[in-house]
A and B are shown apart, each in its own frame.
Chain A
Amino acid sequence: MRQTTPQADFLRGIWRENPVLIQMLGLCPALAVTNTVANSIAMGVATFFVLMGSSLLVSTFKRWIPHEVRISTYVLIIATFVTIADMLLEAAVPTVHKALGAFVGLIVVNCMILGRQEAFASKQPIGRSLLDAAGTGLGFMLALLMMGAVREVLGNGTFLGFSLFGPNFEPWVIMILPPGGFLTLGLWLLVLSWIERRRAESGKVAEWPAGVAQRRAA
């Protein structure tokens, strides 16, 4: 961890080390519940809450958690926040809770959350752990939204339930079915690596724009 500025803690998880798009973590929810934008947002918010809560507790109590039982302790803490998120979702937005179904409970086994505890919150002060959790959580939400937007717009012709193309649009039903999840993420990865390559190529011919060069050096 060469970077130590608070901005870097926060920004790292959003794009450069995006949990889904770059690290391929938390794929199960990213594929399973992103058939509509609303479900993507709900899953993103629930995961964000669990990640923030767990990082806060783990970072606060890190000095008292013995090394041998640390994983069990983290899992226990994460499971607690997931149970709470599950009950809050069911009370606040029962229809969304029904649509997400078992996948709310499955936030417990989202490797991204355990990964942040083990790699960051268990070693860093509370403030920085929260920044890191917020960045990673937002990055996860961003990836879910990218998936959900493509799938709902193409698969249902709507965005957040608002019709986009009028009655003559024939929805690509496959996009909101399971294969659409795999294909959408695969296509996003293609687009991202294409952008990456374009950048690398343009870097060969011309000087890097100052901002990009700085960021890439970081």
Chain B
Amino acid sequence: MAEKDKDRDKEKDVLHVGIDLGTSRSSISASTGERHVVESYVGWPLDMVARKVLKKPVLIGSEAIQNRSMLDLHRPLEQGLIKEGSDKDEAAVRELLGHLLSLVGVDREERNGRKVRAVVGVPAEALRVNKQHVRKALQGAVDSLMIVSEPFAVAYGLEALLHTMIIDSGAGTTDFCVMNGRLPTEDDQRTLPQAGDWIDEQLMRFAKARHPEASISIHMVRQWKEEGSFVGDTKTPVVVTAPVNGKPTQLDITGEMRQACEGILPPMVESMLDLLSKAQPDYQEKIRNNVVVSGGTALIRGLGQRLEQELQAVGGGKVRVVKDPVYVGSDGGLAIAVDAPEGDWEKLTA
């Protein structure tokens, strides 16, 4: 962020934050320059014993995953949205947001007179009711709140506002958005449920089928994917460790990893080409040459090249994978928060 923006915040005692509320991970970028990412898990000690051992009323992020056997563990976001109908999940979202804000120095109870203005990204095709839930969860935690489509936040942060296609693939959803120099409408956007979690499920299924003797959990699979996901060819085999009859054993899951990761390609390519074909014909070539992939799934090795190959069918194009896919959404949210005029923020009271 520019120095002048920091000065502006200091003068007015305002903190701007961008939040990417993700199914798997949530990140926050603040106008103080701080950035944090946490696993989107919240857990409450199961009983008195657990409370005594853990010494905390609630655990969040990786700490919650590590101690999951002692916790009532919740992953409160599903497909990038707050799960409905469960008070516990709504409470978990509030805890998660409170935790994210505390990481950048915002105390829920006492903000020392400092105004907090937040921009929160949600999936492109989130319904109004989902956005209302986000507003409700943040009530009282921030002073003003703006909700944006996640791919738009990414585009804004990258200043890719004209003739660009953003493919933002996280754990819960893959969002597509064509930027035409205006706020994207629903015709410019698509959301697919196939994303990181979907790959995890496929990989779990394939790995269990190949190694039925091994004990495999979804947390293990998620970690394997983060370390070794790829599409296309690889010279490095994917070898992981899992217990077989209680004994740690090395398993080769190269083929299963490829199969699981490549499974996301057909719906992704179809949506990309479909959205391209709906763009104004004059600009289709420009858009094809400005495809940006962000989000955790962007970390799959070879994904960018593979999408470029698929674009050959419609005349070729260029795909850029962002360098910092984990923070690109929250950074974009922060850029929006900082740029929004003071007068507008006053109208958007949380």
Q: Do A and B make up one complex?
A: no
Residue ranges of B at the interface with A (Cβ–Cβ < 8 Å): none
